[in-house]
A and B are shown apart, each in its own frame.
Chain A
Amino acid sequence: MRAAVRVDRTLCYGTGLCEAMAPAVFSLTDEGYAVARPAGDRAAGPERLREIAECCPAGAITVTGPGAGTT
């Protein structure tokens, strides 16, 4: 099992930070919120995903699964 990544769009500010850090994992929708791309979590390791989650100003990104720790 891989780490799984999820964006809570009710929290997301649409800052585009996650997309700038990992465009293969995240993208901004037309309404300006981030979504995790389907199977995008394959494109980055758990530590990288966790780093991005911790840089997000809204605490909107959750990483779960092996090696992901608790975020």
Chain B
Amino acid sequence: MTSTVAPDIPALFTPAYYQDPFPTLAWLRDHAPVHEFPFPVGDVRTWMVTRYEDVRAVLADSRFSAEGATWGNAEFRAAGLVSAAGTILERGIAVIDPPDHPRLRRLAMSAFTTRRVEQWRGTVHAVVERALDDCERRGAFDVMDDYAGEVSAGVLGAILGFRIERHRELVTALNEAFPSDPALMDRVPAAFGRICAYAAELIDDKRSRPADDLTSALIDATDEGTRLDGDELTGLVAAFIMGGSDTVRGFIGNAALALLDNPGQGDRLRAQPELARSAVEELLRYEGALSTALFRVTTEPVELAGARLPAGAPVIAGLLAANRDPRRFTEPDRLNITAESPRHVAFGHGLHNCIGAALARMEGEIAIPALVARFPTLALAVPRDRVRYIENWAIRRLTSLPVTTSTSRHA
């Protein structure tokens, strides 16, 4: 058993790890690909998986259940690690197994296929242009709040039909729903509760005043007898809010930083906007918005890459680690927006792979090239070492990304 990594390398989920996880992930891939360690919340015995092949294997194998509430051991449940425990999201789409999962998924998926999201292309363009105009007026701005946040919330809000002024409240709730600081665990249930309450409110609103939006369409589909009950409908809308806002925001921020760090790649994208598609795939691989999947728990004793896991064991699939695995990708730590790489796992794999992937891709393909095109001399407004990541074990995003533009018209 190894519970720590080499002495000069930060242990998992420590402050130093969050700012630069790559040395730790590389060490683990090489020396302890299925690494047992005490999870910072409750010191629960947990296994971190870091190689591409193993990550895909875990996410495709039904012995690794997404239902922590059902299969997690007593220690896991007592530490409060069952996500959304006590709210309707405890049975949300991301944390249930078949046969319930496909029942919810097929209804939810119908709204988000590649073909269906095309209808929102105009919306995404409009939201992006509006946000860019606003940033241009400011001259200096924060990519996270003033751009990525506006785009992700604006698009999701338009699709679901919600009022934008609620967004900041929701962002706070989202941050509190996924803490990594044990001291903040007590806020988790309330945060999930607020997100669910907001989804319920939105559904009530649309029941009395249906509109041309996804929430109204889901209500219709439910009423037409798709075997979905009211709580499941609320849970689905809450899952879209949880899954579709902070992730897109985080990704656009990470992508902007990656292009600032690799100016040649940014120039290339500006000169050849037709590279948007491959650039977005590469940026997702390089630094997607989720560094791990949600917890899986073993339904029986399992042997994985030589490690023996007992039943009920919490397992974390390292998506970021897998996407930087040199066993799978050539020069994985180098950003190359024209690379035709093998499929990355930034959107997960298997049953629970991201429902919003087509939408997230479209948002990225529009928002990222538009940012570099609008501001050819975009530059960091703070020293590079002041750019910080939030301390969260699953979500990888910047706290802020202050930039300046040459078109500045300081008020």
Interface set of A (CB-CB < 8 Å, partner B): 11, 13-17, 19-21, 32, 51-52, 54-59
Q: Are B60 and A11 in contact (CB under 8 A)?
A: no
Residue ID in chain B nearest A32 by CB atoms: B343
Contact A59 B114 (CB under 8 A): yes
With the chains together, A12 CA to B401 CA distance in Å? 35
Distance of A13 Cα from B109 Cα, bound (Å): 14
Query: CB within 8 A of B106: which of A11, A19, A51?
Result: A51
| CA A10 to CA B371, docked complex, whole Å | 29
Residues from chain A with Cβ under 8 Å of B301 in the complex: none
A55 touches B106 (CB 8 A): yes
Across the interface, do A15 and B347 meet the contact criterion of CB distance under 8 Å?
yes
With contacts A21-B102, A32-B342, A51-B102 taken as known, whether A16 is within 8 angstroms of B110 at the C-beta atoms is no
B60 and A54 contacting across the interface, CB-CB below 8 Å = no
Provide the bound-state CA to CA distance between A14 and B357, in Å. 12
Instruction: Write out the residue numbers on chain B whose beta carbons fall within 8 Å of the beta carbon of A21.
Output: 98, 102, 351
A57 touches B106 (CB 8 A): no
B355 at the interface (CB under 8 A from A): yes
- Given contacts A55-B106, A55-B109, A57-B357, are A20 and B114 in contact (CB under 8 A)? no
Any A CB within 8 A of the CB of B125: no
In whole angstroms, how far apart are the Cα atoms of A32 and B345 in the complex?
Answer: 12
Is B358 a contact of A15 with CB atoms below 8 Å?
no
Closest Cβ of chain B to A39, distance in Å, is 22
B 48-72 to A, binary, CB cutoff 8 A, 1 in contact else 0: 0000000010011110000000000
Question: A20–B66 Cα gap in the complex (Å)?
Answer: 13
How far, in Å, is B329 (CB) from chain A's closest CB? Answer: 13
User: With contacts A57-B113, A57-B357 known, is A20 near B106, CB below 8 A?
Assistant: no
Q: State whether A19 touches B112 (Cβ < 8 A).
A: no
A12 to chain B, nearest CB (A): 10
> Chain B interface residue count: which class?
20 to 34
Binary flags per residue of B111-129, CB closer than 8 Å to A gives 1, else 0: 0111100000000000000
**Knowing A57-B113, A58-B114 touch, does A15 contact B105 (C-beta < 8 A)?**
no
B349 an interface residue at 8 Å Cβ cutoff? yes
Cα–Cα distance between A16 and B348 once the two chains are bound (Å): 10
Q: How far, in Å, is A52 (CB) from chain B's closest CB?
A: 7
Give the residues in chain B near A11, CB-CB below 8 Å: 114
Q: Which of B62, B115, B354 contacts A59 (CB 8 A)?
A: B115
Within 8 A of A (CB), among B81-134: 98, 102, 105-106, 109-110, 112-115
Residue B353 at the A interface, CB < 8 A?
Answer: yes
Residues of chain B within 8 A of A54, CB atoms compared: 105-106, 109-110
Residues on A with beta carbons closer than 8 Å to the beta carbon of B358: 57-58
- A15, B114: Cβ atoms closer than 8 Å: no
Output the least CB separation between B66 and chain A (Å).
Answer: 11
Contacts of B109 in A (CB 8 A): 54-57
Are B60 and A16 in contact, with the CB atoms below 8 A? yes
A11 CA / B114 CA spacing, docked (Å): 9
List, in ascending order, chain A residues with CB within 8 A of B343's CB. 13-14, 32
CB-defined contacts of A55 to chain B, threshold 8 Å:
102, 105-106, 109
Task: Please tell me which one of the listed residues A14, A19, A51, A58 contacts residue B113 in the complex, with CB atoms under 8 A apart.
Answer: A58
Whole-angstrom CA separation of A49 from B197 in the bound complex: 35
Q: Which residue of A lies closest to B106 (CB)?
A: A54
Are A15 and B353 interface neighbours, CB within 8 A? yes
State whether the Cβ of B350 lies closer than 8 Å to any Cβ in chain A. yes
* Residues of chain B contacted by A13 (CB below 8 angstroms): 343, 353, 357
Given A32-B343, A57-B114, 17 more A-B residue pairs with CB atoms under 8 Å apart are: A13-B343, A13-B353, A14-B343, A16-B56, A16-B60, A17-B351, A17-B353, A19-B350, A20-B62, A21-B102, A54-B105, A55-B106, A56-B109, A56-B113, A57-B353, A57-B354, A58-B113
CB neighbours of B350 from chain A (8 A): 15-17, 19-20
